[in-house]
């Protein structure tokens, strides 16, 4: 309930009579559930065990579905579930859960276990908190309940509930081995295709240190000492804004929302970090570094820009990406002629407007069909969206780039913009588009 009243979110029940996080509409092709959202947020923590308490499908279907990469431990990639059957559902499944927890500790001895509730265990009334508390006492490692069963709402709500679990059980329980004056946390960056590695390298070049990665390529301990940071940067705004706000409340840590997609946004983010850390030396360093990087990138992008200038793109993705990718595309000379806003906040939408003006079409909802309509009407050249819309686009002979979790290319930072340009050019130039559009010779005109 508390998560539904998040004051930093304009959907909150406290703001303008909103009803809290939007509920999924029945009969509409919808995104993931809250369970999925909670997993998305927590799974990137690589050295802990993620145990799904429920029937096989919740764990089984989501297993390995995200491209959150780890540079070391791969425990998070084990699909651990209690795999409840009919009997166990009738009698409560508590024993299975306790056995599973102990089995995991024996086999993997992880620093912690996240235990996810699912629709079924929530319905039959498993007291997850109590079981986790007693197992924590017995086993001496953190067993953390994640109460985000699928039926409570959308994926975004799940992200937020996972954030609550981190705030309640993890953050503030340890101290870092060392601290520096330029420590920041990244919140809501999940290391898709290894993006956090590029960001880390980028920040290191001006001397900024990531104290805690929440949660891309994250480790349990670094999340525990996240409260010792000087600044929180929220990379995916909608998902974990509650976490940043509460950390400000509890620990007096300032936060801002930013992005690393495109050179302009990257530069702006670096400048904001320097400004908020309020250090003259850092501000100067950032200034020199961003000037140099942008100049270098300009040269490298010259050829790509020639090919991409004036191409028309339709963008359909969620949250922060709905505006930050726009900047990246514009920097490459692409006209963004349509933007999906299904998963964007009002603030996101305002930012979209700032970037593309009033003429571009906003696609509020309606799924694939609406996207394609806009694409045709606006005479688009390329669609940039997630995997679920990819095959529809291809069916309709539309060049496509995957921007969501299944992609294999990291687009963050100055380097990332070059990669994005390369992927755009590849996709647009592949001769398969001639073949799919080729009229068979027997076709009467």
Compare residues 57 and 288 and give the one whose CB is closer to other proteins: 57
Pick from 68, 229, 250: nearest CA to 167:
250
What distances in angstroms separate CA 81 from CA 42, 233, 352, one per listed residue?
15, 33, 40
- C-alpha 379/C-alpha 246 separation (Å) is 45
> Of 27, 177, 357, 440, which lies in the binding site for other proteins, with binding defined by CB under 8 A?
440
Least gap, CB of 69 to other proteins (angstroms): 4
Least gap, CB of 251 to other proteins (angstroms): 32
- C-alpha 438/C-alpha 308 separation (Å) is 23
Tokens, residue 372: 């394609």
- What part of residues 37-66 is at the interface with other proteins (CB under 8 A)? 63-65
Which residue carries 């929440």 as its tokens? 214
Element (H, E) at 422: helix 413-429
- What part of residues 56-115 is at the interface with other proteins (CB under 8 A)? 63-65, 67, 69-71, 74
Least gap, CB of 409 to other proteins (angstroms): 10
What distances in angstroms separate CA 252 from CA 5, 26, 228, one per listed residue?
21, 41, 10
The answer to whether 31 contacts other proteins (rule: CB under 8 A) is: no
Compare residues 63 and 251 and give the one whose CB is closer to other proteins: 63
Compare residues 25 and 443 and give the one whose CB is closer to other proteins: 443
- What part of residues 350-389 is at the interface with other proteins (CB under 8 A)? 387
The answer to whether 445 contacts other proteins (rule: CB under 8 A) is: no
Which residue carries 């340009």 as its tokens? 421
The answer to whether 406 contacts other proteins (rule: CB under 8 A) is: yes
Least gap, CB of 219 to other proteins (angstroms): 14
Contact 48, 18 (CB under 8 A): no
Q: Total residues contacting other proteins (rule CB under 8 A)?
A: 28
The answer to whether 215 contacts other proteins (rule: CB under 8 A) is: no
Compare residues 5 and 405 and give the one whose CB is closer to other proteins: 405
Q: What string of DSSP letters covers 277-305?
A: HT-HHHHHHHHHHHHHHHHHHHHHHHHHH
Interface with other proteins by CB under 8 A: which residues? 63-65, 67, 69-71, 74, 194, 387, 391, 394-395, 397, 406, 408, 426-427, 430-432, 434-436, 438, 440-442
């Amino acid at each position: 309930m508390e998560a539904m009243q998040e004051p930093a979110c304009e959907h909150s029940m406290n703001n303008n009579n909103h009803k809290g996080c939007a509920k999924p509409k029945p009969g509409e092709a919808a995104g993931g559930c809250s369970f999925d959202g909670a997993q998305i947020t927590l799974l990137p923590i690589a050295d802990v065990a993620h145990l799904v308490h429920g029937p096989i499908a919740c764990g089984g279907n989501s297993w390995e579905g995200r491209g959150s990469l780890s540079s070391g431990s791969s425990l998070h990639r084990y699909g651990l579930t209690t795999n409840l059957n009919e009997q166990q559902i009738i009698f409560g499944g508590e024993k299975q859960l306790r056995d599973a927890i102990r089995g995991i500790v024996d086999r993997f001895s992880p620093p912690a276990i996240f235990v996810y509730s699912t629709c079924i265990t929530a319905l039959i009334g498993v007291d997850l908190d109590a079981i986790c508390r007693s197992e924590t006492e017995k086993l001496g490692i953190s067993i953390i309940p994640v109460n985000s069963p699928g039926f409570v709402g959308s994926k975004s709500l799940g992200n937020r509930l996972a954030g609550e679990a981190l705030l309640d059980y993890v953050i503030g329980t340890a101290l870092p081995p060392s601290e520096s004056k330029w420590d920041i946390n990244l919140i809501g960056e999940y290391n898709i295709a290894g993006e956090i590695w590029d960001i880390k390298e980028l920040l290191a070049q001006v001397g900024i240190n990531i104290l805690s990665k929440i949660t891309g390529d994250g480790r349990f301990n670094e999340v525990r000492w996240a409260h010792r940071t000087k600044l929180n940067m929220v990379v995916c705004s909608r998902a974990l804004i509650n976490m940043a706000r509460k950390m400000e409340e509890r620990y007096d840590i300032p936060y801002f929302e930013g992005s690393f997609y495109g050179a302009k946004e990257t530069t702006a983010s670096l400048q904001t970090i320097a400004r908020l850390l309020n250090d003259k030396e850092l501000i100067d360093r950032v200034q020199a570094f961003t000037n140099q990087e942008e100049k270098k990138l300009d040269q490298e992008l010259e050829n790509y820009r020639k090919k991409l200038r004036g191409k028309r793109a339709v963008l359909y993705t969620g949250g922060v990406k709905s505006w930050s990718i726009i900047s990246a595309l514009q920097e490459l000379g692409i006209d963004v002629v349509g933007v999906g806003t299904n998963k964007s906040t009002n603030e996101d939408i305002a930012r979209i407007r700032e970037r593309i003006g009033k003429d571009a079409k906003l696609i509020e909802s309606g799924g694939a069909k609406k996207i394609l309509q806009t694409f045709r009407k606006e005479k688009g050249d390329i669609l940039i969206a997630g995997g679920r819309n990819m095959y529809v686009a291809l069916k309709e002979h539309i060049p496509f780039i995957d921007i969501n979790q299944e992609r294999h290319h990291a687009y963050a930072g100055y380097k990332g913009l070059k990669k994005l340009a390369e992927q755009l050019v590849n996709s647009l130039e592949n001769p398969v588009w001639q073949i799919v559009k080729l009229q068979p010779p027997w076709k009467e005109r």
